[in-house]
Every structure is written in C-alpha cells, then in structure tokens.
Structure 1
Amino acid sequence: MHRPASTSPIIRSTARRRCVTSSHVERITATLLAACLLVSTAPALCGETSSPAVVESQIDIELQRAMAATGANAIAMAVVEDGHVTHVASRGRRNAAGDPLLTDTVMYGASLTKAAFAYMVMQLVDEELIELDRPISEYLDRPLPDYPDDPRYGPWSNLADDPRWRSLTPRMLLNHSAGFANFAWLEPDGKLRIHFEPGSRYAYSGEGYILLQFVLERGLGLDVGKEMQRRVFDRFGMTNTGMTWRPDFADNLADGWSIDGAPEPHDPRSKVRAAGSMDTTIQDMARFAAGYIRGEGLTPQAHAALFRAPLPIATDRQFPTLQSELPAAKRCENLASGLGVEVFDGPQGPGFIRGGHNEITGNVWVCLQRGRRCVVILSNDVRAEAAFPRLVESVLGETGAPWRWKYGAMTFWR
C-alpha cells in the first residue's frame, strides 16, 4: 500500500524547473569540497578514483548522520556506477530487540515492486506476448466486468456501466493513466471507477498494476509470481527476494517503526500483488538496479520504452491521487511518468525515481542515465525519508529529482 508521507511543514521553493524543495547547490558543493579535502580520493564524492573503503567510510558517515538527524533506527544504501554495484551498506537495527540490520536482511520493497513488475512486462513485450498499446479487452476471453469478483483483484464488476475500460492498454496501466484511484477501497463507497478518459493524464494507481497482473494471469495464462522469480529475481541473483513471504526470510527479517517511533512487525504477504508485495534486501535491490540501468534482459528498444515518450505529470504532488492538474505555468517542468518509474530531466541530464512507502517503510531509488549511476535506499523506519534527498545527493550530486512533488509536506534534513 502506498500512502502520502508525513504532513509536517514543508520547506517551499519558488523554483519551478526541477520541483525541488530548495536550491542547495552551494551546500552540496561545500560538502563535496570538504570531503575532497579530508579524503582526496573519494570517487563518488569527488569524482576521482580511489579505494572502495574510502567511499564506504563516507557513506557510513552520511548514514550515521541521517539516522541521528531523523531519529530513524536503520537505513540501508547501495551505489551503482556505470551499471555495476560499487557499494552496499546497512546501519542500525532491524527490530526492537536490537538485532543489526545487515545487507542481506529481508525488508519490505513496497512500491519498488512496480518497477520490477514493469521490467518483467517489457520482457513479455520483447517476446511479443503482449503489446503496450493493444487494448486489454483483446487479451481477455470475456468482458472485464463479467469476471467474478475476487478479493485479489478489482472488483471489476464495478465497471459494468462504463465502457471506457475497453480502451485501457498495458501502457496506461503502467504509466498511471487508467483513471483509477490508487485503490478502490479509497473511494468513498469502496467501488472502483474510472475518473477521466484513459490515457489523458497522470493519477497514481496501484489498481492499474493489479489489473495488468489480472490480464497476464487470466488472459495469457501466466503465473506472475513465477514469471517475476524467473525473469527478474533469478536473472539478477536476487536470492533473498520474493513476491510473497518465504519461511526462510524469518531468520533475518526487518520489522519496522512508524512516524511516531512505534515498532511494528513485518507483514508476511501471502498473495502476489504487482503493486507492492515484494520483499527484498539492499544487496538484491542493488543487483536489480545495476541490471536495470544496463538494460540486461531487454532489447535496446524495450529498455528505452521504459522512459521514452513519458506521460507528463501536471499535479502539485504525487498524493493524494486524482488531485486537480495545475496550470501549465505552475507545473514541474520535465517531470513525467514512465513505465514503473517517474522520469525527470535535471542538471545532469535525464534520470528517474521510484519510491516505496507504507506506515513503517521508506524506500527510494534514483538513477541518472548519464554514467548509469544509481542510489538505492531501503529503510524499515519511515522517518528516514526526510534524509533521502541529502543521502542521494551525497553520492550523485544535484540530480533535479522531484523531492517536493514526491514527498509533499515534509521537512527534509539538510
């Protein structure tokens, strides 16, 4: 489940181009200069070549500072350079008992699942099993509303009086333009409905991903859990990742902490949900991020399609979903929805971001296409989200990532 972030006061900015919370190039420059003076060979911070141990020490300093500043109990972080994992680190504790968070500790992936699912779908596109712009009605053996209601999906019967469902395509479901609320249960009456002409605008929706999962399973006869395992997790060596709970996760599992610091147990999800059922580790997500930015397992055309011709995003924030679109002059420039990720164009060129959030989870993944550089952060304490901009920028520099749009009313640690 993906919910809005904290509602604490936000540091606002009049800058429209990158939709960031504040212009802090000077602070980043000073930080990098200080790091260079202290450790003249730190590559990720200073742009030079050095030993991994030096960079790891700088990452460790940033993680420790982030935890102290936000009160978060644990943060894990990975760095990808030129499409290869260079650093993986974890700090803090994985549960209230004080057991350490390790780089192979199983954590909730939340909506990072969407990016992995979209990557799997593009393999199906490569194999011509599905087409991005072909209506989903052509893959089903009966009208969508005629399928019996199933607690795992839908309920599709709610769409019986709205023929617009027939125009839905896999692309619309992946780029959040189906017209659905995030989930049907968020509707005042709990009924699924289409709020605007499909494909015409962005509105974040996990329900769209569930519908595409349904199409793959009922229309193509695929087992999405098995396809994800074979095509993504096995391919990238993600040995401690799964779309549902596995008993072997229990020995090294992260529980979590809520925004008020209350500990809560991990939810052992028993059903495959393309919108967000994945459990993973920072080691595994690092491997996926590296393979993803390289385009491993996809044709160049399919890899480019994840980011090509994205749908412009015209809302002030990511949440609440279905909010009104802004006038053109007030929108985030160069922000759009790709397939499973949000794409932006910043001072270092094009990149993308994907988050994952629930009451006790804060995850983010940011990549720059130039240099195939990425930072992945997982935390089992949602308070860590306030440190994400600084942690990402400590490695990648100013990216132009849309932090204010993504996290809404939040005071970020600077």
Structure 2
Amino acid sequence: MHALRSVRRAVLAVAALPLLAAAQHAIPAAAALDAEASRLMAATQARGLAVAVIDAGRVVHVRAYGERNAAGLPLLTDTVMYGASLTKAAFAYTVLQLVEEGLLDLDRPLAAYLAQPLPDYPDDRRYGPWSGLAGDERWRRLTARMLLTHSSGFANFAFLEPDGKLHMHFDPGTRYAYSGEGLILLQFVLERGLGLELGAEMQRRVFDRFGMLRTSMTWRADFATNLADGWKDDGSVEPHDPRGRVRAAGSMDTTIADMAKLASAIINGEGLSAKGATALSTPGLPITTASQFPTFQPELPLVERRTDLAAGLGVVTFLGPQGPGYYKGGHNDSTGNTWVCIKPKKRCVVILANDVRAERAFPALVRFILGETGVPWRWEYGGLTFVD
C-alpha cells in the first residue's frame, strides 16, 4: 500500500510539471518584448501593433510599434485605435454595475422592461429591425444573460440574413452563436426600457472611473490629431471610421494605454462587488462548435467538444495549464484586437493592431508574454495560418 501511494504521488508530480512550468513563466523585460514584437510584425508584414501587459493586477508594460497611417507617423501608446468587439466586454462590465444597483436582473425576461411588445417598435437604424420577430413569441424568453452569452438565436447582424430581417434560429439560451445584434437589443432595453443613455453610462461608469482619457463610444474631435488608420489583408489602407452612433456591439475608440487601465481594473474587480466581478468570467454556457464562425455551424458531437470552453458575460472563458482564464477578440477588415487574462496570477495581455495581418502573430506573442495559456485560438480564428 505504501508503494502504491508512492507511485501515485510520483504520477501526480509528473502530471503537475506542465502546470508548474506554466505558473513559473516570467513576464519578459521590455527589451525582449520589443524584439519579439518587431520579429512577429516582420513575419506578418503588419504595419502597426500595440501591446499592454498586466502582472499581479498591475500594468507593467505599455508599448506601441510601427505606424499609425500611410504617412508613416508613429503609432504611440496614446494613439486612438478602433476597439471593435472589445467594446462588448466593456459593455458587459457596465451592465453588471446596473445589475448590482438593482436596475436590471440578468435572468428576468427583457419583455418586462419594455412598454410594448418588441416587434411593435418601429424599425430604427440605431437599433435592430425588431419587426422581423413578429409572430415568433420566443423573443419573450430573452434575458440579459442570454444576450451577453451570445445565445439569443440571432444572426451576428440582421443585414447578414438573406431577407435583411431579424430571425431566431434556435430556442434562446440553448446554444452559443455569436451575435452583435443581441448586444444591440440589450442596449435598446437599457435605453428605451430603463431610460438610460448608454454612451453616457459607459463614460461615467467605466471610462471616467478608470482614467481612460482617450476612450469614447463615439467619435471626438480631439482624436483627430493622433489617430490610427488601418491596413487590410491585401496591404491597402482603410481610413479610421469616425463613428457617430453608440453601438454596444463595437463602437468604442480607445488607446493601448487606456485598455491597459481597463484590463487591470477588471482583473482586479474594481467597480463591482467580488460576486459581480466573478460573474463576468464565470463559465455560463458551453461552447459546442469547432470554430466561432460561421455562426450557425452544426454543433460538434459530445466527444469532440472542448469541455473547458464556455461563454462568460461578454467574454469567452477557458481552462488552461495556468488555470482559468478569459479572453475577448475584436476584428474588422483592418483591425485585429485580443485581450487575454489568466485569473490565478491576475495576468493579462491586450493587443490592439491597426493591421489585420497582425492576427496571425497573436498566439505566438501571447505565448511569449504569458507562457502557454490554453486560449482557444483555432476556435477563435478558424482556418487562419499563424506564425511562430
């Protein structure tokens, strides 16, 4: 029996070695980070990239590399860049504050907050075309939690539907399918149902609270003097879009210095109770597909699913060799962003790239900074070819 216990201890010790090695990974010094970022930019031909690193909940590196526009002006740590879908995580943090104040219940049907049935509201270009839901009473089951975990049943956006109308493709809350339209619906409920103005709420509750001086949900004139345009996959330039409408799904302009403050604040749970802060990155809904897009691809057989992968509130959660973590990506034709956090040591990396080609370097750069994390890169990016 003693020998058996010894063998078991030895097996457990060997099994723990990868976890121990990952946990002991040292955050690289600034010079090493600069060199690796330069190497990966050359490998991907990316023209601009910015990185922030948080260790033990503190910001330890904020770096910017390359150019912010075709004129060759340098990308700086206070250059305004497009936040894309990183907006969704900041929005979720705002929603959780409203929940803690008793203004919203994550699990109460959203119909209870509206003065009339959702499909009866006139279609408004600021929101979704809710009239498409007429005749489908499943909309009455929708809750804030379902929308934040991308389980509404909506397409990513209604304009992607063949008829341009909004439809529910499955019973709400039953599976994950990425939907910006779901976040816009929650914005609609906050604004029309609760009488809030989302841009002002996010400014007060998040951007001002954490000292994010060059971040906004809409365009500001003072951004123009230090602003990043973007590069597409073919190397062409796309001018920065001065977004004039607040969109919970992705209208945020920000800087890498400001995103460092936000990542640090959220990993430390600032602005929320311990319970509220934990709710953001608690696994809430299993993710059952091989990749994030296309949205309505068939679910994998049970034996092929990654059991540690789940939707949190506005983020994706995973379990890797360093313990539980969460991440959020952001993307358009000329933007590639990612935000990865490992919870036990309160370590995070935020990458903002004004060149979509930089996405191919994200796994290597995050691994260089944090070590092996378990981020589901292949699920996030599908068939994209990564560089080492």
Interval of TM-score (by shorter of Structure 1 and Structure 2): over 0.9
Q: CA deviation at 1:333?
A: 2.5
Does residue 1:361 correspond to 2:344, yes or no? Answer: no
> Structure with the greater relative contact order (CA < 8 A, sep ≥ 6): 1 or 2?
1
Which residue, 278, 299, 317 being the options, matches 2:273? 299
Q: Aligned residue for 2:99? A: 125
Q: Aligned residue for 2:88? A: 114
Which residue, 171, 181, 186 being the options, matches 2:155? 181
Q: CA deviation at 1:220?
A: 0.3
Does residue 1:251 correspond to 2:225, yes or no? Answer: yes
Q: How does 1:13-412 map to 2 (within 5 A)?
A: 43-45=26-28, 55-412=29-386
Alpha-carbon distance in structure 1 between the residues aligned to 2:207 and 2:359: 26
Alpha-carbon distance in structure 1 between the residues aligned to 2:285 and 2:106: 14
1:252 is paired with a residue whose SS is coil
Q: How many pairs are equivalent?
A: 369
Q: CA deviation at 1:120?
A: 0.3
2:166 is paired with a residue whose SS is coil
Amino acid at match of 1:263: V
Q: CA deviation at 1:309?
A: 4.2
Amino acid at match of 1:203: A
Identity %: 66
Q: Aligned residue for 2:6? A: none
1:365 is paired with a residue whose SS is strand
Change in 2 beyond 3 A, CA 1:187/1:301: same
Alpha-carbon distance in structure 1 between the residues aligned to 2:197 and 2:322: 39
- For the 8 Å contact 2:144–2:186, the answer to whether it is kept is yes
Q: Name the TM-score, length of structure 2 as normaliser.
A: 0.93
Alpha-carbon distance in structure 2 between the residues aligned to 1:399 and 1:309: 17
Q: CA deviation at 1:307?
A: 2.2
- For the 8 Å contact 2:282–2:317, the answer to whether it is kept is no
Q: CA deviation at 1:411?
A: 1.1
Cα offsets for 1:134-174 (capped at 9, x unmatched): 00000001111111110111100111110000000000000
Alpha-carbon distance in structure 2 between the residues aligned to 1:126 and 1:333: 30
Q: CA deviation at 1:305?
A: 1.2
Q: CA deviation at 1:188?
A: 1.0
Amino acid at match of 1:59: L
Q: Aligned residue for 1:413? A: 387
Say what the alpha-carbon RMSD is for the aligned residues.
1.5
- For the 8 Å contact 2:26–2:370, the answer to whether it is kept is no
Q: Which runs of 4+ in 1 moved over 3 A?
A: none
Q: CA deviation at 1:331?
A: 1.3
Alpha-carbon distance in structure 1 between the residues aligned to 2:156 and 2:150: 9
Alpha-carbon distance in structure 1 between the residues aligned to 2:306 and 2:160: 26
Cα offsets for 1:5-62 (capped at 9, x unmatched): xxxxxxxxxxxxxxxxxxxx99xx8xx9xxx9xxxxx9414xxxxxxxxx11011011
Amino acid at match of 2:83: G
Cα offsets for 1:309-332 (capped at 9, x unmatched): 410000110011111111011112
Alpha-carbon distance in structure 1 between the residues aligned to 2:99 and 2:254: 25
Alpha-carbon distance in structure 1 between the residues aligned to 2:283 and 2:171: 19
Q: CA deviation at 1:308?
A: 2.4
Alpha-carbon distance in structure 2 between the residues aligned to 1:197 and 1:354: 25
Amino acid at match of 2:297: Q
1:89 is paired with a residue whose SS is strand
Amino acid at match of 1:372: K
Alpha-carbon distance in structure 2 between the residues aligned to 1:332 and 1:380: 31
1:343 is paired with a residue whose SS is strand
Q: Aligned residue for 1:6? A: none
Alpha-carbon distance in structure 1 between the residues aligned to 2:285 and 2:89: 16
Alpha-carbon distance in structure 2 between the residues aligned to 1:223 and 1:128: 17
Q: Extract unaligned runs of 5+ from structure 2.
A: 1-16
Cα offsets for 1:160-200 (capped at 9, x unmatched): 11000000000000000000000000011111000101000
Amino acid at match of 2:329: G
Cα offsets for 1:212-259 (capped at 9, x unmatched): 000000000000000000000001100000000000000000000000
